[in-house]
Amino acid sequence: MNESGDGGSSGWFARLKSGLARTSSRLVGGITDLFTKKKLDDATLNGLEELLIGADLGSVTAGRLVQHLARTRVGKDITEAEVREIFAADIAKVLEPVARPLSPDPTKKPFVILMVGVNGAGKTTTIGKLANQFRDHGLNVALAAGDTFRAAAVEQLKVWGGRSGATVFARETGTDAASLAFDALMESRKRGDDVLLVDTAGRLQNKENLMQELQKIVRVLKKLDDTAPHATLLVLDATVGQNAHSQVEVFRSMVGVTGLVMTKLDGTAKGGVVVALAEKFALPVHYVGVGESVEDLRPFSARAFARGLMGLEA
Amino acid sequence: MFQNLSERLGQVLTRLTKRGALSASDVAEAMREVRVALLEADVALPVVKDFIDKVSAEAVGEKVIKSVTPGQMVVKIVHDALVEMLGGTAPAEGVDLAAPIPVAILMVGLQGSGKTTTTAKIANRLMTKNRKKVLLVSLDTYRPAAQEQLAILGRQVAVETLPIVSGQMPIDIAKRGLDEARKGGFDVVMFDTAGRTTVDDEMMAEVAALRDLIKPHEVLLVSDAMIGQDAVATAKAFNDRLAVTGIVLTRVDGDARGGAALSMRAVTGKPIKLIGVGEKVDALDVFDPSRIAGRILGMGDIVSLVERAAETVDKEEAERVALRMMEGQFDFNDMLSQIRQVQKMGDLKGLMGMIPGLSNALKQAKGLNVDDKVVKRQEAMILSMTPKERRNPDLIKASRKQRIATGSGMSVADVNKLLKQHADMSTMMKRIKKMGGPSAMGAMINRMGGLPGLQAPRGPGGPPMFRR
């Protein structure tokens, strides 16, 4: 399942690009405007910086990209296409080191993946899609319905279990998530599953007590297997702005996030903050979600993302 | 929410207020920093530009330069512009029910913005505060178990939900819902819809068709407060297609800097009606622009605090304690009573953030971790005291301390800390008595709240001074 995702797989790139197109058309349209009107002077550079900020890259990253452009090109003749190429290349360079697929270690039985994130980021849906994909690759998959807080979250995961043929460990809403995770891992181990995906309730990172609950889940998993969870994925919604910094920072320090998943890239949001996150935290970005169906959860490709963002062909 | 933005703006503006005279370049410099602060708070770029232009134009005006305290004039200009951007000084409105019953409300938004939870929260509010009979209808046939989620939430808040007929299409469910609302004599019928991206033409057409059928009195756009620059595109797309009547911001209790609130109102011209402030079903507040603007500028939100207090505090008990305080008396029974009143009002950090000046002070005292557990422990220690000890704290010496510590699972050092704290509070009460009772304190609070923040004390130490 972990094809390199180098942008060659046309389906995913087309989807991502069509998703990003609206963003990029705004971004690129903006760049075109700037260049039909002005030369590469300070005003133009300011305009470029604002366009990048408009894509959620954040003022620091946007500033750095524009400065890089200014250092190499100011006063010289430059076309709008060149600016796009330069930005895309710079962004891809930032993203390449973090574009790393997630491959479950076959020696771990099961390979435990813990899903964390704020409310509504798309954890349960991502688990459902992952379960399907792992199953399609012949892995035995179990799901732990650890969101015991939100109404019907357990039912939601059960539906995904039914669709993918994955076993679902569940108890009723309101029970202790940590003890459910513990029992799920114990059971999954007995059965010799390849992968155990543990869902958790969404929580805002500034809720200290809820973050401690999450730590407890990690703690009890370690009682059974001190290398577990083998992957802790933070799910980020592409519409998120600069608050993503705070989310990554807090979730990483509290539960040792090992990688990111960015969902909902099929809307107008560009998820440009991922570029700033890559610079700051260097956490791998494993997957992006570009649609509702199972195959729309795809490995993250730096080049495709960067070029899509700038409205360029792969 | 808003704390970070509040801190950043506070720093910039405090520098200005410390100046005697202001030059145009001082203001320009400050505005550049305000611009970055707003952008980092995810305020949409076009909104930031308008804001800066407007504030700059006013701030270099003659009125400011010639005023005695130009810095504070600028703070006032920024405050007023923020209020305006957030929806002006018009009173907070909440959900509009001025229509023939059953009043239909349509909830729309992106995936994961919090529509279903918000629907239940609003229903709960309409039922408990407005005494309305509400029917909930889920039109989300896409996300697995979404209809069940609303049904469960409905049961939790004791509001009726339309029975689920599996396999039924949204448009048919909507018809059934309208029918049931009329027949069942409901005052309000709320329709929750599936989350959708604005570029999905099919889904946008679906919700438009639903809107045409339901003819809702309110179309509420639900948005996550953590949304970034996409707020503009999303708000605009939903508003253009569905003529949104109001916005509900969710997860305002997070640490997002609140740019979405500022942008969405500005882009759509539609009011932000409600904000979600926690996971509980009653964690929904009416949005009040001037209070929020005050909070953004670190001026606190004393009005919300007082309201929250009025809703939860046992009045008789409070009066009893107040009477004793006036007499300069304060024993452990009073302390226990206070602890419990505060606990009822909710999370301590949230409460302290509402007190003018304290939000900045809290930020600067980084080590100060306000923990609700601390309060719980204090309560446990007091409960381990005998009634006699509570009335007469001086009795508590070595062996009694040991017993209290054991009884509450704390250490003697913790008991000592509690005693010291009580002694400090008791001294304070006596001082208040000398000042002339609680009315003196009331006057103090009035002074702080009356002139929006201009007199509010900044935190101890204050931010590092700006050097030219």
Residue A314: is its pLDDT beyond 70? no
Rounded Cα–Cα distance for residues A189 and A110 (Å): 6
Residue B357: is its pLDDT beyond 60? no
Cβ–Cβ < 8 Å for A290, A266: yes
| CATH number reported for the structural domain that contains residue B178 in this entry | 3.40.50.300
- Summarised one tens digit per residue, pLDDT across range A212-263 is 999 999 999 999 999 999 999 999 999 998 899 999 999 999 999 999 999 9
Predicted pLDDT of residue A223? 96
| Chain B residues lying within 8 Å of A161, measured CB to CB | none
- Do B364 and B450 lie in one domain? The reply is yes
Q: Work out the pLDDT band at B79, boundaries 50, 70, 90.
A: confident
Cβ–Cβ < 8 Å for B213, B206: no
Residue B299: is its pLDDT beyond 70? no
Does residue B319 belong to the interface with chain A, where contact is any CB pair within 8 Å?
no
* Rg, Å, chain A Cα set: 21
Does residue B299 belong to the interface with chain A, where contact is any CB pair within 8 Å?
no
Least confident of A161-175, A282-296, B10-24: B10-24
- Do B332 and B397 lie in one domain? The reply is yes
Whole-number Cα distances in Å, A31 to A274, A310, B263: 21, 10, 23
Predicted pLDDT of residue A18? 60
CB contact under 8 A, B257 and A208: no
Report the residue from A119, A159, A207 with minimal CB separation from B144: A159
- Do B190 and B156 lie in one domain? The reply is yes
CB contact under 8 A, B251 and A264: no
Predicted pLDDT of residue B89? 66
| CATH number reported for the structural domain that contains residue B382 in this entry | 1.10.260.30
- Do B149 and B216 lie in one domain? The reply is yes
- Do B203 and B272 lie in one domain? The reply is yes
Residue B284: is its pLDDT beyond 80? yes
- Do B251 and B310 lie in one domain? The reply is no
Report the residue from B199, B226, B233 with minimal CB separation from A118: B226
Residue keyed to tokens 């500034």: A206
Q: What percent of chain B has pLDDT over 90?
A: 39
Does residue A155 belong to the interface with chain B, where contact is any CB pair within 8 Å?
yes
Shortest distance between the Cα of A298 and any Cα of chain B, in A, equals 19
Residue A88: is its pLDDT beyond 70? yes
DSSP, res A85: H
| Chain A residues lying within 8 Å of B36, measured CB to CB | 59
Q: Work out the pLDDT band at B467, boundaries 50, 70, 90.
A: very low
- Do B279 and B327 lie in one domain? The reply is no
Residues in chain A, overall count = 314
Predicted pLDDT of residue A34? 60
Least confident of B21-25, B178-182, B188-192, B424-428: B21-25
Residue A186: is its pLDDT beyond 80? yes
Report the residue from B114, B146, B228 with minimal CB separation from A273: B228
- Do B110 and B75 lie in one domain? The reply is no
- Do B253 and B112 lie in one domain? The reply is yes
**CB within 8 Å of chain A, chain B residues 356-385:** 371-372
- Summarised one tens digit per residue, pLDDT across range A114-160 is 999 999 999 999 999 999 999 999 999 999 999 999 888 999 999 99
Predicted pLDDT of residue B432? 64
* Most confident by average pLDDT, A16-25, A256-265, B17-26, B344-353: A256-265
Identify which has the larger pLDDT, B468 or B374: B374
Residue A167 phi/psi, 5° resolution? -75, 140
Shortest distance between the Cα of A169 and any Cα of chain B, in A, equals 17
End residue of a domain, out of B290, B324, B356? B290
**CB within 8 Å of chain A, chain B residues 376-435:** none
Residue A31: is its pLDDT beyond 60? yes
Predicted pLDDT of residue B371? 65
State which fold the A10-98 domain adopts.
Four Helix Bundle (Hemerythrin (Met), subunit A) (1.20.120)
CB contact under 8 A, A239 and B230: yes
Least confident of A227-231, B1-5, B129-133, B327-331: B1-5
Q: Which residue of A has its CA nearest to B147?
A: A152
- How many CB pairs below 8 Å do chains A and B form together? 146
| Chain A residues lying within 8 Å of B149, measured CB to CB | 150-153, 155-156
Rounded Cα–Cα distance for residues A3 and A177 (Å): 34
Q: What percent of chain B has pLDDT over 70?
A: 77
| Chain B residues lying within 8 Å of A158, measured CB to CB | 145
Whole-number Cα distances in Å, B428 to A244, B326, B431: 43, 11, 5
Residue B173: is its pLDDT beyond 60? yes
Cβ–Cβ < 8 Å for B260, B233: no
Does residue B260 belong to the interface with chain A, where contact is any CB pair within 8 Å?
yes
Report the residue from A160, A208, A268 with minimal CB separation from B234: A268
**CB within 8 Å of chain B, chain A residues 83-112:** none
Beta-bridge mates of residue B275:
B249, B285
- The tokens for B163 are 């029975």
Residue B55: is its pLDDT beyond 90? no
Does residue B113 belong to the interface with chain A, where contact is any CB pair within 8 Å?
yes
Domain extents in chain A: 10-98, 111-301
Instruction: Sheet with B103-109: list strands edge to edge.
Output: B160-161, B134-138, B188-192, B103-109, B218-224, B246-250, B272-276, B284-286
Report the residue from A50, A156, A264 with minimal CB separation from B144: A156
Q: Work out the pLDDT band at B172, boundaries 50, 70, 90.
A: very high
Sign of the torsion angle spanned by Cα atoms A19, A22, A27, A33: positive
B274 alpha-carbon distance from chain centroid: 10
Average pLDDT, chain B: 80
Predicted ipTM > 0.95: no
Identify the three-state secondary structure at position A298: strand
Does residue A293 belong to the interface with chain B, where contact is any CB pair within 8 Å?
no
Report the residue from A54, A120, A155 with minimal CB separation from B224: A120
- Do B82 and B113 lie in one domain? The reply is no
Report the residue from B149, B197, B228 with minimal CB separation from A241: B228
**CB within 8 Å of chain B, chain A residues 133-152:** 149-152
Q: Work out the pLDDT band at A193, boundaries 50, 70, 90.
A: very high
Rounded Cα–Cα distance for residues B25 and B132 (Å): 56
Nearest Cα to Cα of residue B414 among B402, B425, B427: B402
Residue B155: is its pLDDT beyond 60? yes
Identify which has the larger pLDDT, B226 or B358: B226
The boundaries of the domain holding residue B15 are 3-86
Q: Kindly state whether residue B93 falls inside one of the protein's structural domains.
A: no
Q: Kindly state whether residue B12 falls inside one of the protein's structural domains.
A: yes
Q: Work out the pLDDT band at B358, boundaries 50, 70, 90.
A: low
Rounded Cα–Cα distance for residues B411 and B384 (Å): 13
Predicted pLDDT of residue B462? 32
- What is the CATH superfamily name and number for domain A111-301? P-loop containing nucleotide triphosphate hydrolases (3.40.50.300)
* Most confident by average pLDDT, B84-88, B189-193, B230-234: B189-193
User: How many domains is chain B built from?
Assistant: 3
Residue B433: is its pLDDT beyond 60? yes
Cβ–Cβ < 8 Å for B103, B97: yes
Q: What is the pTM of this model?
A: 0.75
CB contact under 8 A, A241 and B199: no
- Do B208 and B319 lie in one domain? The reply is no
Residue keyed to tokens 């709240």: B449
CB contact under 8 A, A239 and B110: yes
| Chain A residues lying within 8 Å of B41, measured CB to CB | 242
Measured CA angle at B190 (ends B308, B345), to 5 deg:
15
Q: What is the mean pLDDT of residues B378-401?
A: 90
Rounded Cα–Cα distance for residues B327 and B323 (Å): 7
| Chain B residues lying within 8 Å of A273, measured CB to CB | 228
Q: What is the mean pLDDT of residues A88-107?
A: 94
Predicted pLDDT of residue A9? 45
CB contact under 8 A, A119 and B112: yes
Substitution target in A268, A293, A309 with the highest count of B β-carbons within 10 Å is A268
Q: What is the mean pLDDT of residues A94-106?
A: 94
**CB within 8 Å of chain B, chain A residues 47-76:** 50, 53-56, 58-59
Q: Kindly state whether residue B295 falls inside one of the protein's structural domains.
A: no
Nearest Cα to Cα of residue A23 among A269, A249, A293, A218: A269
Shortest distance between the Cα of B43 and any Cα of chain A, in A, equals 9
Q: Work out the pLDDT band at B13, boundaries 50, 70, 90.
A: confident
What does the H/E/C string look like for chain B? Answer: CCHHHHHHHHHHHHHHHCCCCCCHHHHHHHHHHHHHHHHHCCCCHHHHHHHHHHHHHHHCCHHHHHCCCHHHHHHHHHHHHHHHHHCCCCCCCCCCCCCCCCEEEEEEECCCCCHHHHHHHHHHHHHHCCCCCEEEEECCCCCCCHHHHHHHHHHHCCCEECCCCCCCCHHHHHHHHHHHHHHCCCCEEEEECCCCCCCCHHHHHHHHHHHHHHCCCEEEEEEECCECCHHHHHHHHHHHHHCCCEEEEECCCCCCCCHHHHHHHHHHCCCEEEEECCCCCCCEEECCHHHHHHHHCCCCCHHHHHHHHHHHCCHHHHHHHHHHHHCCCCCHHHHHHHHHHHHHHCCHHHHHHCCCCHHHHHHHCCCCCCCHHHHHHHHHHHHCCCHHHHHCHHHCCHHHHHHHHHHHCCCHHHHHHHHHHHHHHHHHHHHHHHHCCHHHHHHHHHHHHHCCCCCCCCCCCCCCCCCC
Identify which has the larger pLDDT, A257 or A25: A257
Q: Work out the pLDDT band at A15, boundaries 50, 70, 90.
A: low
Q: Kindly state whether residue B74 falls inside one of the protein's structural domains.
A: yes
Least confident of A72-81, A253-262, A276-285, B367-376: B367-376
Q: Kindly state whether residue B300 falls inside one of the protein's structural domains.
A: no
- Summarised one tens digit per residue, pLDDT across range B394-420 is 889 889 999 999 999 999 999 999 998
Shortest distance between the Cα of B143 and any Cα of chain A, in A, equals 8
Identify the three-state secondary structure at position A113: strand
- Do B128 and B245 lie in one domain? The reply is yes
- Summarised one tens digit per residue, pLDDT across range A55-83 is 899 888 999 999 988 888 767 777 777 88
